Amino acid sequence: MANTPPHLLLVATGGTIAGRAAHAEDNLGYRAGELGVAELVAAVPALAGVPLRTLQLAQIDSKDMSHALWQALVRLLAAELARDEVVGVVITHGTDTLEETAFFLQRVLAPAKPVVLTAAMRPATSLQADGPQNLVDAVTVARTPGARGVLLAFAGQVHAGDEVRKVDAYRLQAFDSAPAGPVALVEEGRVLPLRPWPQGQALGAALCDWPLARWPRVAWITSHAGFDAALVDAAVAAGFDGLVLAGTGNGTLHAELEAAADRAAQAGVALRLSTRCASGRVVGDLARSRAASAESSAAQARVALLLDLLAKAATPSTPSSISA
């Protein structure tokens, strides 16, 4: 747009932050994504003077996040971030799959400008509504000079998009990024950096233009007591291209899962090893022998494997780094 002054873009996708319940004391029986982006902004007086352009991309519960919406989001961000007048982007999102979206966007775009996701654990109608403050903090981070990369602003902390994970199902302090911890804090409108902003080598938005029908099928399967190998065998029979195996402890697998994983590898399915533990990643000899994921959660490992397989499909002449 010609002569458009510098501004932030606020992209709304739904989630609890836009949720509505029948009663203010009800923090559970709400419908996610009920409020539009205009209503979200109007409810936060602190945003009144902020140069902000809004866009409603979706109104979903993030448990239903899809590859199609990721594709649309990447296309939108790639176009908007290329514009000089767009100084940063804020995305409202549900908490359930936020860590997957944040990881995906950082790997694909690794933006030089800030792309700040935010969310809420209480609906907008709640007496404990945390969305307004989280939204203000996200805008503050996105306007911070030098900020870059995909980030999450939530409960006074700022996490790197490729490190964050949801760690609590109900408490307001629902996200963490152990072992490194947050990259910054937000205190009374001030951003206090703790370590460098996330950087990385972008895979490129063009990767996501690959037709959705041809995106690899990747799932994760968790090892547990009494494991039934039929789970893995069924995934292989159904034509899954990759599997993330979330092992116990340091990636150890039930004997039934171990044998099924070997069969899957022989069938050409790409495997990655992760852990079902709340923190840490697989290390040591097992990590090397089973192509352990460098990511700290099975959710992130699934996205990483998806992107690796997508890159391999898009450029079949390029050797893959995937071990099976």
- Strands (E) in 79-183, as ranges, are 86-92, 114-118, 149-154, 157-160, 165-166, 175-176
Phi, psi of 289 (to 5 degrees): -75, -25
Contact assessment for residue 101 and residue 69, using Cβ atoms and an 8 Å cutoff? no
Q: Mark whether 222 is an active-site residue.
A: no
Q: Quickly tell me which residue has 């000089």 as its tokens.
A: 84
Phi, psi of 313 (to 5 degrees): -70, -35
Q: Quickly tell me which residue has 């292989």 as its tokens.
A: 236
What is the helix, strand, coil percentage profile of the chain, to 5? 30, 25, 45
Reading the block at residue 212, the tokens are 């959705």
Beta bridge partners of 55: 11
CA distances (Å), origin 149, targets 103, 112, 133, 274 = 11, 6, 21, 25
HSE value, Cβ hemisphere, 13 Å, CA-based, for 276? 13
Given 13, 16, 97, 101, the catalytic residue: 16
b or e along 23-45 (b: 16 or more beta carbons within 10 Å of the residue's beta carbon)? Answer: eeeebeebebbbbebeebbeeee
b or e along 290-314 (b: 16 or more beta carbons within 10 Å of the residue's beta carbon)? Answer: bbbbebbbbbbbbbbbbbbbbbbeb
Contact assessment for residue 309 and residue 270, using Cβ atoms and an 8 Å cutoff? yes
Instruction: Tell me which residues are annotated as active site.
Output: 16
